[in-house]
Structure 1
């Protein structure tokens, strides 16, 4: 009977070890699942940051294009304003010259 008792003790010990292994594997699976969920959240956050970065870059490009356009418009306006101012001065000079002729003729 001693060998039956030894065999029973051995079987019980093995069953206990198997239960410990099952528990460890179950815990590992639970932790892996939890980590996968956290990684999914991390990936979503990275996607949002990437999208925001792309939008910011697009807005920066649009702002630069608008700045260049406004700078060109300002240069054209300065040129146009200068030409208009010269024409106005020329018209005023002619008007004064005409008045002076009238005065001299009188």
Structure 2
């Protein structure tokens, strides 16, 4: 679950140089499970307060991958608070990710 969220968050935050110092994204799976991810501009993210994990972002493919192997593909990409997108993961999960906060 943690891996899935990290991927989704990173994908939504993808415009790295233009991103805030951190972006908070709430992920809601189709089954109702909710995760909160904080993505830092240094390329690490923490889900539900767990230790940070590195991630990479493929802007062309709209795909975020965590070093743990979880990859999240987004339908759309945005960087403003309130932006939402559907996502799917390489582990068979899907849901909606919404940017809920940004800090400088």
Q: Give the TM-score of the pair, scaled to structure 1.
A: 0.15
Q: Of Structure 1 and Structure 2, which has the larger fraction of its residues in helix?
A: 1
Q: Of Structure 1 and Structure 2, which has the larger fraction of its residues in strand?
A: 2
Q: Which has the larger radius of gyration?
A: 1
Q: Give the TM-score of the pair, scaled to structure 2.
A: 0.15
Higher relative contact order (CA 8 A, sep 6+): 2
